[in-house]
Structure 1
């Protein structure tokens, strides 16, 4: 059973980040999905200390991912071009052709 847990931890370690980063459509698999898989492994009988440390590390990575995602979505969106003009004290100029 321990060998299967080792293989599962190794698999999750390889595929979790690419699945979370996904593509332009967003994550392929959510952080909730990965958290459930990791907690299922934590509930396995006779888990070794090394396995526990590896699972804990993956859970901490998920926490970090979720913290970064929340920050990215909670930051106010501003128009960069307007802010730059205000800082430089310039106004938009109409171009005549």
Structure 2
């Protein structure tokens, strides 16, 4: 029976590893779009994704590939958060409509 126990344990570990791989792939697919959201803001905030990723890190027996994938997703999350907090670029050029309106005003004065 020892062989059967080893098989069941190995099979359960393999199944759990597959679930972790699927969870990582799912997060990789939906994290960025859900943080961009819509006009109302993010659908799911960074805190939610950070919690999900740290829960994955707590799993037993992660492979090196899984650890690297989770680390990469955490880096992406940090980058997304940094971009959200970055100030909007300041431009000194006036919009084209404003320039055109001023050009017409100047022509009328002549």
Q: Same fold per TM (> 0.5)?
A: yes
- Report the structure number with the largest CA radius of gyration: 2
Deviation at 1:24, TM superposition (A): 1.0
**Equivalent residues in 2 for 1:1-97 (5 A)?**
1-72=16-87, 75=88, 81=94, 93=105
Q: Residues of 2 paired with 1:53 and 1:26: CA distance?
A: 29
Deviation at 1:19, TM superposition (A): 0.3
Q: Residues of 2 paired with 1:8 and 1:16: CA distance?
A: 11
Q: Residues of 1 paired with 2:89 and 2:32: CA distance?
A: 26
* Cα distance change on mapping 1:49 and 1:70 into 2, 3 Å: same
Q: Which is richer in helix?
A: 2
Would you say how many aligned residue pairs link Structure 1 and Structure 2? 87
Deviation at 1:78, TM superposition (A): 7.9
**Contiguous gaps of at least 5 residues in structure 2:** 1-15
RMSD: 2.6
Q: Residues of 2 paired with 1:25 and 1:79: CA distance?
A: 29
